[in-house]
Structure 1
Amino acid sequence: MKKFGLFLVGVIAFFVLLANIGPLLGLAVSLVVTYYAVKEFIKTDSTGTKILWGFIAFIAVAFSIANVPAVLAVVAAYILYVVYKNWNKEKANNDIIEAGDPFTNFEKQWNSLNK
């Protein structure tokens, strides 16, 4: 039942990621343009060029704000990562105590502590 739940959450996260791939790419491009514009703004000495790079940075930030739904795509990608990591994770059962040799139980507990 746990695998079915993980599968269901993974499918939903995949479709949310797929639906928001456009805004995600738009956000990435606008952030790269903003970074480059700010970097050039700081490098230049000319007032006219500073105004130009400031205007370009402002437009790129406006596009970044318009692509806020891309945050959903980032969250969906993280959920897919968590589902992938938990897919084959086995449940740890430390309560099993076998009768017989006491050192066997000690070794199992020691190994579980060292993980």
Structure 2
Amino acid sequence: MKKFLLFTAGVIALVIVIANLGPMVLLGVSVWLLYLLVKQFLKTESTIKKIGWVMIGLILLSIAISNIYAVIGIAAAYVLYLIYKEWKVKKHEQIGKSIKDDPFTNFEKQWAELTK
């Protein structure tokens, strides 16, 4: 039952990531352009150029704010990663636990110690 719930949550998270893929890309591009713009703003010494960079920066900031729904997609991608990680850990833990709890394996170890 737990695997089914993990699978269902994973499918839902995947759909949310796919639905928010466009805003996620636009948010990333706008934040990257804002970073480049700040670097150019700090390099310039002319007041008119600084005013121009601020105007362009405000336009890019409005684009970034309009794509704030991409944060939901980023959160869904993180949830999808956690589900994948949980799915992988459970398989390895079950295999390791079954070997340790196997009475025949323990018997073989004890028998080998007694026959030494």
Taking structure 1 as the reference length, the TM-score comes to: 0.77
**Aligned amino acid, residue 29 of structure 2:** V
Task: Give ranges in structure 1 of 5+ residues lacking alignment.
Answer: 102-115
2:5 corresponds to: 5
Task: Give ranges in structure 2 of 5+ residues lacking alignment.
Answer: 111-116
**Superposed displacement of residue 33, structure 1:** 1.1
Residue aligned with 1:45, SS: coil
Query: Is the CA contact (8 Å cut-off) linking 1:34 and 1:56 kept in structure 2?
Result: no
2:82 corresponds to: 82
Residue aligned with 1:88, SS: helix
1:57 corresponds to: 57
**Superposed displacement of residue 88, structure 1:** 2.5
Residue aligned with 1:87, SS: helix
Which of 1 and 2 has greater Rg?
Answer: 2
Query: Is the CA contact (8 Å cut-off) linking 1:6 and 1:83 kept in structure 2?
Result: yes
After superposition, the C-alpha distances for 1:47-66 in whole angstroms (9 at most, x for unaligned) are 11111111111111111110
**Superposed displacement of residue 18, structure 1:** 0.4
Runs of 4+ in 1 over 6 A off after TM superposition: 98-101
After superposition, the C-alpha distances for 1:52-107 in whole angstroms (9 at most, x for unaligned) are 111111111111110011011100100110011000225587xx7x8997xxxxxx
Query: Which structure has the highest helix share of the two?
Result: 2
1:47 corresponds to: 47
Pairs aligned (count): 104
Determine the C-alpha separation between the residues in 1 that align with 2:33 and 2:70: 17
Check if 1:22 corresponds to 2:22.
yes
Determine the C-alpha separation between the residues in 1 that align with 2:84 and 2:32: 29
**Structure-to-structure mapping, 1:90-101, within 5 angstroms:** 90=91
**Aligned amino acid, residue 51 of structure 2:** I
Sequence identity (%): 43
Taking structure 2 as the reference length, the TM-score comes to: 0.77
Determine the C-alpha separation between the residues in 2 that align with 1:88 and 1:50: 52
Alignment root-mean-square deviation, CA: 2.4
